[in-house]
Structure formats: structure tokens, C-alpha cells
């Protein structure tokens, strides 16, 4: 393999969670730290879990540091690296939660970003479901139902299966249900307001903190399902599904059986391989891709020719990233 100049392979960061399991090892062969591994941060410039570049001239450097030191590689980006890509293994139900928008995050928490996210379901056991939204018609009704503990009546539950895509804008009450492994692309924010946690003890036996006041203040009322219809087309031997093109990010799901060219619509791209394997090459370098790999394609990369049998997600920053 030639020197890596423009295609940056990321080393994942793992997070142990009370609700985590071992599916990330089973699905992707990751060296997880324990049987309670809930998250794999595949591409991250966030201070709570910085990705490290694995090879080439920038080997050992964090993505966060490279973003700050060489902004030209990312089209002159400034501020914080705006996106975060992670796998989530929900062996148990996650807490019901909500994330603030950018304005609330800046004013209340002093953070640059709120958190809009999206999910691609990698696998799901039969009858798996999410909490996605609520049934309250006003903020006053939302407050009354929360204060009286009418959780089953309040939360909106939806079934999911492998291959589903869900858009979760800031303000959406949500929870990932047990038995789901998914890929999440989100704004680079770690702000979570926990609405309800099933009265579940943490690893030390204490109940986890709830943030009901902030949850109510941030929630979209009434709930609106904003997942768009996907668009599909072919590019050479690839089937392309555009899952969303939003102000924060655009997401394409690409299934390749043969050859294609990676088309860029933004200064840089984030790529995660969901299954299979293949290669990417241009006139300067050749790289191998396999299931579970994460890459950043930087500004100035000449067209990459992809070959193989694989499925991969391409994320690009939107206008507000």
C-alpha cells in the first residue's frame, strides 16, 4: 500500500455503557474492551473520544489536531470538526432522551453544536423497536404526562428492521431499543438530556441522573416525523440510495458489486464500510477496504476508483456543518 496522503484511515474509540453488549465484535470483529461495549466512535474530532489516524504521513495524529493544523485538507474548515460517526450496540434499551438544537446548546451549555443525528439500522432482532417522538399535543400536556409518569402513554414506539433509515433532528424524543445495532451520523456534540431511564441503576447501583426540565424545554411539540423519502440511482456497478440531504449532513448508502468512482459533493467525505471488502485507488495510491473500516477522504483527492463487493455509507457535511 502506498503512502496515505489524502485517504485517512481512522482507529476506532470504544465506549462501555450499562446497556452495551458484544455485537460490535460479532458484527465487525472489533477488539472491544468488554461485554458491555455500547459504542464505537469511528470518525470523531470530539474531545470525549478523538479518532487517531492509523497510517501514512499523519499516523498517530488525532483527527481533531489535523483539522486544526491543516484546514486546507478539509476545504478550510474552522471551529470544531462538525460530524461524528459511530456504531451503537443496544443490548438493552437506551434511556429515552432528547438533544438540544444549536441555539439552546450555545446558550445553556456553552457548546458550539446541538445534536441532530440519523440512524441506519445494521441489524435488528425480530420485534425490535425505537422510541421516536411522543403523543403530547402541547408542551403543557407533555409536562403533565411526564410529571405524572405516564410514560407508556406518552412515548411513540415504532418497529424497525435491518436497512431502515431514521432522521432524528434536535428536539426529537427518542430511544434505541434492545437488540438493535446501528450506524449513527450526528453533529459533533455529546449533549444528552435524559428524559426517562426505566428506574435503572448504573454500574455503581445508583439511578442515573434525569434532565426532565431541559428535556421538556428542548422537545419538538407536537412531534413531526421528518425522515424523507430516499432517492435511488445507479453509478456504474453501484446502487446509490440518498438517504438524506440536510443542512447538517448528507448521507448516501452505496452497494457496490464491481467498479465505480467515488463522487464528491463536499470538500471532504466520511466513509464507513458496513459489509464486504474492496479497494480504492487513484494514480498515487491504493487502499483496501473491509467491513468496519472508517475513512476520511480529504480535499484535493483526485478521483478514487472503487472496486469490490461491499456496502458503505458516505457522509458529507451540510451547509450548517
Per the annotation, binding residues for Zn(2+) are 99, 117, 174
- Strands 117-124 and 7-11, bridge-based pairing: unpaired
285/267 Cα distance (integer angstroms) = 19
163/123 Cα distance (integer angstroms) = 8
185/119 Cα distance (integer angstroms) = 7
117/108 Cα distance (integer angstroms) = 20
60/63 Cα distance (integer angstroms) = 9
- 73: phi then psi, degrees, rounded to nearest 5: -65, -15
Cβ of 313: how many Cβ atoms within 10 Å? 22
Q: Which helix (H) or strand (E) holds 15?
A: strand 13-21
Active site (annotated) includes residue 156: no
Signed CA dihedral, 110, 111, 114, 115: sign only: negative
> What residues are paired with 140 via a beta bridge?
none
Question: Helices H, strands E: what count in the chain?
Answer: 6, 20
From 248, 250, 290, 247, select the one nearest 272 (Cα to Cα): 290
Helix ranges (H only) for the chain are 23-28, 63-69, 102-104, 139-147, 151-154, 212-218
From 194, 226, 252, 263, the catalytic residue: 194
The residues annotated as belonging to the active site are 194
Amino acid at each position: 500500500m502506498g503512502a496515505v496522503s489524502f485517504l485517512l484511515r481512522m482507529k476506532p474509540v470504544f465506549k462501555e455503557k450499562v446497556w452495551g453488549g458484544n455485537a460490535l465484535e460479532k458484527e465487525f470483529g472489533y477488539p472491544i474492551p468488554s461485554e458491555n461495549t455500547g459504542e464505537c466512535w469511528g470518525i470523531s474530532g470530539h474531545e470525549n473520544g478523538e479518532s487517531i489516524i492509523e497510517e501514512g504521513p499523519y499516523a498517530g495524529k488525532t483527527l481533531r489536531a489535523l483539522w486544526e493544523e491543516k484546514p486546507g485538507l478539509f476545504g478550510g474548515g474552522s471551529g470544531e470538526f462538525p460530524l461524528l460517526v459511530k456504531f451503537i450496540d443496544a443490548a438493552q434499551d437506551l434511556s429515552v432522551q432528547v438533544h438540544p438544537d444549536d441555539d439552546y446548546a450555545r446558550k445553556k451549555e456553552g457548546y458550539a453544536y446541538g445534536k441532530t443525528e440519523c440512524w441506519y439500522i445494521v441489524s435488528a432482532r425480530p420485534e425490535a423497536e425505537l422510541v421516536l417522538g411522543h403523543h403530547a399535543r402541547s408542551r403543557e400536556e407533555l409536562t403533565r404526562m411526564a410529571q405524572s409518569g405516564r410514560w407508556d402513554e406518552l412515548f411513540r414506539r415504532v418497529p424497525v428492521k435491518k436497512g431502515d433509515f431514521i432522521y432524528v433532528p434536535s428536539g426529537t424524543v427518542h430511544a434505541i431499543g434492545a437488540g438493535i445495532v446501528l450506524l449513527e451520523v450526528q453533529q459533533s456534540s455529546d449533549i444528552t438530556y435524559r428524559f426517562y431511564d426505566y428506574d435503572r441503576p448504573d454500574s455503581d447501583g445508583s439511578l442515573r441522573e434525569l434532565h426532565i426540565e431541559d428535556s421538556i424545554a428542548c422537545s419538538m411539540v407536537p412531534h413531526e416525523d421528518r425522515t424523507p423519502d430516499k432517492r435511488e440511482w445507479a453509478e456504474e456497478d453501484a446502487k446509490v440510495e440518498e438517504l438524506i440531504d440536510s443542512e447538517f449532513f448528507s448521507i448516501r448508502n452505496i452497494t457496490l458489486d464491481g467498479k465505480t468512482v467515488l463522487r464528491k459533493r463536499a470538500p471532504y467525505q466520511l466513509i464507513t464500510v458496513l459489509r464486504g471488502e474492496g479497494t480504492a485507488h487513484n494514480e498515487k495510491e491504493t487502499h483496501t477496504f473491509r467491513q468496519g473500516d472508517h475513512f476520511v477522504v480529504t480535499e484535493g483527492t483526485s478521483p478514487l476508483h472503487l472496486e469490490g463487493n461491499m456496502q458503505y455509507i458516505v457522509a458529507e457535511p451540510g451547509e450548517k456543518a
